[in-house]
Amino acid sequence: MFTEESYPERGFIATDYLKNFVTPGCTNKLHRHPCCGLMVIERGEVAVTAHGNTIRVGGGAVIFHPPGVIYKHFTSSNELYERYRIRFYPELIPSLDEKTREGLSTHSVKQLSHSDFEDVLSLTRMLHKRCQGEGAASLLSVSLLTSLLSLVFSAESREVREPEGYIHKVTEYIRENCQDKLTASDVAK
C-alpha cells in the first residue's frame, strides 16, 4: 500500500535539492513520514495526491505535508524540474505564531505570488546551504526555518487552476473564432 521512511534524526533539519529533466508521470509510491515535509517547487510541474485529491502546480508553489500524511507526487511534463525539500520535526521549533502552528497540522498546496515565492525561495536557499555543513541543528538554521514557515503559512495562495481545463477553453475559443480577425481582447474574454 505505502512505504514509510524515517528521516531526519530528531533535533535536525534535513534538506535536499533536485534539478533534472524528468519523464512525465515519474512518480513515487504512496508513502508517509514521521516528520514534516516542505517542498519548494522552483521550476517544472508536479501533481500531488493526498487524501484522495490530486492537485497540479508549477514553479512558484510550496507543498507542505504534516507528519503521518499519506501522499505521493509525480511530474506531469518533460520540462526541467527543480525543487528543494526540507524535513523536520515540529518540536524542533519552540515558538511559532498561531497561524503557523495551525499550518503545521494541515496538508497544503499553495501557488504563491511571484514576490512571496521569491522571499520563500531566498530563505529556502539560505537554509539549504546552512544545513549542508554542520548547521542542520544550529540556532541560525532553526531561525531560518521558523521565518520560512511563517512566510509560507501567512502567504496568500493564488487560485490553482487545473491547467488542462484552462488551456482547453482557450484552445476551443481560438478554434471557434479563428475565421475572423482575433484580437488579444477577444481571447481575454
CA gap 86, 142 in Å, rounded: 12
Residue 178: all three cell numbers together: 479563428
Residue 1: all three cell numbers together: 500500500
Predicted structure pTM score: 0.75
pLDDT digits (tens, 9 = 90+) for 113-167: 888 899 999 999 989 888 886 667 788 888 888 888 988 888 766 554 444 444 4
Give burial (CB, 10 Å; 0-12/13-18/19+) of 24: exposed
